[in-house]
Amino acid sequence: MVGNWSVQTSGGSCRVQLSSSPALDLYRASASGCSNQDLSKVNAWDYRDGEVYLYQTGGSVTARLRGSSSSLSGVLAKSGAPLSLTR
């Protein structure tokens, strides 16, 4: 899952990078060019129970995604809006 991802949402597209660097009990992440306020604050991620979780500052879950190492799909936690990540 580590690497650069292109994000597609109903509000447009942006980029998210998932790092293998630890950040407490999670891994570091960063977002760029995201118009969605929640996505723009993504700073950590985790993989558990077959799902990728994206977190924002403060520890709130931004999104939950399922899929493969080349394509993930899921929803934004607050709005329930769909999003997809591709390599």
**pTM for the full predicted model:** 0.94
Question: What's the total number of domains in the chain?
Answer: 1
Confidence band, pLDDT 50/70/90 cuts, at residue 13: very high
Query: What is the residue range of 17's domain?
Result: 3-86
Exposure b/e, 10-35, CB count within 10 A at least 16 = b = eeeebebebeeeeeeebbebebeebe
Q: By percentage, how much of the chain surpasses pLDDT 90?
A: 90
What was the pLDDT predicted at 43?
97
